Amino acid sequence: HFVIEAIKTLIEDIDSCHDQIAQEAVEHIHQNEVILTFGRSRTVLKFLCAAKEKKRSFEVFIAEGAPRCQGHVLAKELAGHGLKSTVIGDAAVFAIISRVNLVIVGAHAVMANGGVIVPIGMNMVALAARKHAIPFVVVAGIHKLCPLYPHNQEVSLNEMRSPSELLEFGKFSNCMDYSTGVGASPLHVANPAFDYVPPELVSLLITDVGGHNPSYMYRLIADYYSADDYFLQEKHDS
Amino acid sequence: MSGGWYRSASFILDKQRNGSVLKAESSPMSPATMATENPQSQQNPNPQISLYYQTRAAHHAVVTSDWLAQAHAAIGRHPEDAVSDNSSLKSAGAEESGNGFSVVDEFNNWRKQPDLAEAVAAIRALASVIRSSQATTMMELEIELKKASDSLKSWDTASISLTAGCDLFMRYVTRTSALEYEDFNSAKSRLLERAERFGEISYKARKIIAMLSQEFIFDGCTILVHGFSRVVLEVLRTAAQNRKLFRVFCTEGRPDRTGLRLSNELAKLDVPVKLLIDSAVAYSMDEVNMVFVGADGVVESGGIINMMGTYQIALVAKSLNKPVYVAAESYKFARLYPLDQKDMVPAL
């Protein structure tokens, strides 16, 4: 019974994490701010809407987040809530960032060292923000916390998605010939899904237990994970 | 080493102490601590307790020697036990508090195992103090442990990991609230259980560190190593056994020639080693993927104390964006907070 109760509590926590995080919105968004976000994240949506309800005036730049372009969906939702939103292409981030005073993004996972796994393209945004000394705020529910240390982030924590999101096979079929025998096809398409942002570039991590420095993550891991689970691989008897 | 005192503010205090101590009898330092010169013992007001330990004692409320003397008087033991001569502790079979058990002997027995870290041997020796203690109250047992811990620390005042290990052992063992048991025997057995567990953890620490560090070493990486650390050697040995392909740059480590020893060991494991002179670190830092060092102690700010030259290497690595990884067992965490390099003089 205890296990079922615990699971129910966990489900409730996960469901309510967006609202808890959104409560922090008021402290971070003030008047006349210009906020940049990237792609689409439900947490960010609720975060911005909560600030809007508290009568903060701000405008939002949304980088579309190619190739899936979820940023378009977010822009529509924000406009529906009455927020002034501007859609820009990913490549324009560096050009626009000097006019922005806060970057808020969602994360796919938070690693043990405070680094975050985010949708592709955000490492660039983080670097641009660091260059212009703009705070890079990541909002993520505590259930996204992972006890692993990202050793080889480009390889082990990434997944490759279908190249058809980038290129239509029909137009490129003469270069992308996958039949075996003759030789390697000259054209390859890589579509990685995630980016790794190192902890030095993240200014603040807002979780449902409050806003923290990335260097504080080890404490949250100690709270939420038992020591046996830190190393999620088979252990060979040494 | 004794000349370095005038650089820290505490030299005023020590000068005052020196005046009174020179009259008192200062016991000669044992051959085991040959690194410290004789003048040092004159600056040490209480030769039995190392100066390093004394300066820190007040800061973290560890039982001080005065308290110890008082406690001894209170339970009617001979007060001279608390201030016995250093040299008598070193002689084989020296008896402490008359129960026929010498912690230093036990410690030396453990140290005979070649691969055992000093601090682990001390922890094991302290555990056996509990086991063979004939105390009948908790206070008595704690006093015995305290005395044993002090004598071990004074055996080698220069070793930070030894001091840290002993301190951590005392805290770990006596921290439990189960000491409030009315039944002394069950409390004692619980203490013993905790002590053995701490000994086990410390003993296995090296293997666990080696296992956890395997992920950091990838095929084709170049590792820069400084100083002879058995932990780092274990890490690299495990990586070699796991058939990882890597090469090691080893600094020479003058004047101790630690680099030569380490490169010999690595060559036995068929790991490609390149020996560098200490000045060549910046030159080759470009090709290096990561820096691996051990630690003599880990301080409270998160920094480490290690062989001379480690700071230099870390600065170069940082300026070239190379990660510096430190492999240190948990008993090396010391209650030190050095604000600059000169704060390390007592522990040199």
Question: Given this model, what pLDDT does residue B81 score?
Answer: 41
Looking at the fold, whether A76 and A42 belong to one and the same domain comes out as yes
**Residue A218's domain spans which residues?**
2-158+193-237
Looking at the fold, whether A88 and A99 belong to one and the same domain comes out as yes
Q: What is the C-alpha to C-alpha distance for residues B56 and B54, in angstroms, rounded to an integer?
A: 5
Query: Is B181 within 8 Å of chain A by CB?
Result: no
Question: Given this model, what pLDDT does residue B280 score?
Answer: 94
Question: Given this model, what pLDDT does residue B66 score?
Answer: 59
Question: Given this model, what pLDDT does residue B251 score?
Answer: 94
N-to-C CA span, chain A? 37
Q: What is the C-alpha to C-alpha distance for residues B76 and B306, in angstroms, rounded to an integer?
A: 44
Looking at the fold, whether A174 and A86 belong to one and the same domain comes out as no
Question: Given this model, what pLDDT does residue B266 score?
Answer: 92
Looking at the fold, whether A199 and A182 belong to one and the same domain comes out as no
Over the stretch B62-112, which tens digit does the pLDDT of each residue have? 455 555 566 566 655 443 443 333 333 333 333 343 344 677 777 777 777
pLDDT at B283 over 90: yes
Give how far the C-alpha of residue A134 lies from the chain's centroid of Cα atoms, to the nearest Å: 17
Q: B170 vs A118, B198, B328, B338, CA distance in Å?
A: 45, 10, 20, 23
3-class SS shares of chain A: helix, strand, coil, % to 5:
40, 20, 40
Question: B218 to chain A: which residues are within 8 Å by CB?
Answer: 151-152
B249 Rama class: left (phi>0) / alpha (psi -120 to 50) / beta: beta
Q: A225 vs A103, A147, A183, CA distance in Å?
A: 30, 8, 50
C-beta of residue A183 within 8 angstroms of C-beta of residue A95: no
pLDDT at B7 over 50: no
| Residue B348 identity (one-letter amino acid) | L
Question: Helices (DSSP H) in B44-155: which residue ranges?
Answer: 51-57, 65-74, 86-90, 103-111, 118-131, 138-155
Highest mean pLDDT among A178-187, B169-178, B222-231: B222-231
CATH number at residue A148: 3.40.50.10470
Cβ contact B211–A152 (<8 Å): no
Question: Given this model, what pLDDT does residue B35 score?
Answer: 38
Instruction: Say which DSSP state B79 is in.
Output: G
Between B318 and B174, the more confident residue is: B318
Q: What is the C-alpha to C-alpha distance for residues A160 and A193, in angstroms, rounded to an integer?
A: 6
Q: Based on the structure, what is the number of domains in chain A?
A: 2
Question: Given this model, what pLDDT does residue B94 score?
Answer: 36
Looking at the fold, whether A6 and A30 belong to one and the same domain comes out as yes
Looking at the fold, whether A147 and A174 belong to one and the same domain comes out as no
pLDDT at B193 over 70: yes
Looking at the fold, whether A213 and A114 belong to one and the same domain comes out as yes
Cβ contact A149–B207 (<8 Å): no
User: Residue length, chain A?
Assistant: 238
pLDDT at B167 over 90: no
Question: A231 to chain B: which residues are within 8 Å by CB?
Answer: 212
Give how far the C-alpha of residue A157 lies from the chain's centroid of Cα atoms, to the nearest Å: 14
Cβ contact A235–B212 (<8 Å): no
- Tens-of-pLDDT digits for all 238 residues of chain A? 889 998 998 888 888 888 888 888 888 888 899 999 999 998 999 999 999 888 888 999 999 988 888 999 999 999 999 999 999 999 999 999 999 999 999 999 999 889 999 999 999 999 999 999 999 999 998 889 988 888 776 666 778 888 888 877 777 766 665 554 455 667 778 888 888 999 999 999 999 888 999 989 888 888 888 777 776 655 444 4
Cβ contact B216–A151 (<8 Å): yes
Q: B267 vs A61, B190, B248, B309, CA distance in Å?
A: 58, 46, 10, 23
Cβ contact B215–A235 (<8 Å): no
Looking at the fold, whether A171 and A107 belong to one and the same domain comes out as no
Question: A238 to chain B: which residues are within 8 Å by CB?
Answer: 207, 210-211, 238
Instruction: ipTM value, please give it.
Output: 0.75
Looking at the fold, whether A8 and A49 belong to one and the same domain comes out as yes
CB atoms within 10 A of CB A52: 18
Backbone angles phi, psi at A29, to 5 degrees: -110, 120
- What H or E segment, with its residue span, contains residue A63? strand A58-63
Looking at the fold, whether A121 and A228 belong to one and the same domain comes out as yes
Q: What is the C-alpha to C-alpha distance for residues A109 and A221, in angstroms, rounded to an integer?
A: 13
Q: What is the C-alpha to C-alpha distance for residues B202 and B196, in angstroms, rounded to an integer?
A: 10
Looking at the fold, whether A39 and A62 belong to one and the same domain comes out as yes
Q: Can you give B301-321 as a three-state secondary structure string? A: CCCEECCCCHHHHHHHHHHCC
Lowest mean pLDDT among A58-67, B8-17, B193-202: B8-17
Between B139 and A74, the more confident residue is: A74
Between B172 and B236, the more confident residue is: B236
C-beta of residue A46 within 8 angstroms of C-beta of residue A21: yes
The pLDDT mean for chain B works out to 74
Query: Is B179 within 8 Å of chain A by CB?
Result: no
Q: Is the peptide bond before B255 cis (omega within 30 degrees of 0)?
A: yes
Classified as helix, coil or strand, A195 is: strand
Taking CA A159 as the corner, what is the angle to CA A155 and CA A163, rounded to the nearest 5 degrees?
120
Cβ contact A238–B211 (<8 Å): yes
Q: B244 vs B239, B241, B303, B323, CA distance in Å?
A: 6, 7, 29, 19
User: Residue length, chain B?
Assistant: 348
Question: A151 to chain B: which residues are within 8 Å by CB?
Answer: 215-216, 218
In chain B, pLDDT over 90 holds for what percent of residues?
A: 27
Minimum-distance CB partner of A151 among B210, B215, B238: B215
Over the stretch B20-64, which tens digit does the pLDDT of each residue have? 554 444 434 333 333 344 444 444 555 555 555 555 554 444 455
Question: Given this model, what pLDDT does residue A23 score?
Answer: 87
Cβ contact A238–B216 (<8 Å): no
Looking at the fold, whether A99 and A185 belong to one and the same domain comes out as no
Question: Given this model, what pLDDT does residue B304 score?
Answer: 93
